[in-house]
């Protein structure tokens, strides 16, 4: 796996990992995952003790909004990329007392067979994760924890106490447009507000200092 760039986003724990595609007249070849490169040589501290134990794939129709999801016991970090179409990833900081607590960012990840690189986005534990789609889109994500029913929850992406100030204004505008007539489950739409989640005792699974101490984010 040839990593050519690691980008730090406006929430610095969220990383975009760009890796090379080797192109010729036939198309391209790439090695999209190699444990030693990602976990030990990428310089991403929160990946050093990570083991990826579950792989998921989803297809979403145009206008779909998913999330914002998170899990504890076990914690679940996610390594996500677009296979076809165009995903915009959404990441909300739910770590209590973190410098960016309550803030959300977006990152657009369109697919293309013409680029000489592809990208993963890494979302460690401590963040609520979701996405929206402006085209029919297929994505995959590798997880650092197996799904644990009863130890997962979500914050509504429409919660009016989410702070969008760190998010690119073009992405926020696109989200607002899709939100006028979204394809979204009742579970996601009616998730917690940020305030109500903070008041829930289970939110104490995401205390900033404790996650940092355990090198989880």
> Which residues does the annotation mark as catalytic?
69, 141
**Coil, strand, or helix at residue 16?**
strand
User: For residue 86, with 0-12 CB atoms within 10 Å meaning exposed, 13-18 middle and 19 or more buried, which class applies?
Assistant: middle
Respond yes or no on whether the N-terminal peptide bond of residue 194 is cis (omega within 30° of 0): no
Do 96 and 2 contact (CB within 8 A), yes or no?
no
- Please list, in sequence order, all residues whose beta carbon lies within 8 angstroms of the beta carbon of residue 32, skipping any fewer than 6 positions away: 1, 19, 81, 118, 120
Q: For residue 36, which phi and psi values (nearest 5 degrees)? A: -65, -40
- Residue 110 and residue 37: Cα distance in Å, rounded? 24
């Amino acid at each position: 796996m040839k990593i050519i760039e690691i980008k730090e986003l406006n929430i610095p724990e969220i990383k975009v990992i760009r890796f090379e595609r080797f192109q010729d007249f036939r198309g391209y070849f790439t090695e999209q995952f190699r444990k030693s490169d990602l976990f030990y040589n990428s310089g991403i501290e929160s990946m050093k003790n990570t083991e990826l134990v579950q792989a998921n794939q989803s297809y979403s129709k145009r206008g779909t909004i998913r999330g914002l999801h998170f899990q504890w016991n076990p914690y679940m970090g996610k390594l996500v990329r677009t296979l076809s179409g165009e995903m915009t990833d959404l990441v909300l900081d739910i770590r209590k007392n973190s410098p960016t607590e309550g803030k959300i960012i977006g990152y657009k990840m369109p697919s293309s067979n013409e680029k000489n690189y592809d990208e993963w986005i890494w979302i460690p534990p401590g963040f609520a994760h979701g996405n929206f789609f402006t085209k029919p889109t297929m994505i995959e994500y590798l997880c650092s924890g197996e799904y644990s029913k009863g130890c997962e929850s979500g914050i509504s992406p429409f919660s009016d106490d989410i702070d969008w100030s760190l998010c690119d204004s073009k992405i926020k505008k696109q989200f607002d447009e899709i939100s006028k007539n979204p394809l979204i489950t009742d579970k996601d739409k009616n998730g917690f507000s940020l305030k109500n989640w903070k008041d829930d005792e289970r939110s104490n699974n995401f205390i900033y200092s404790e996650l940092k101490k355990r090198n989880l984010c």
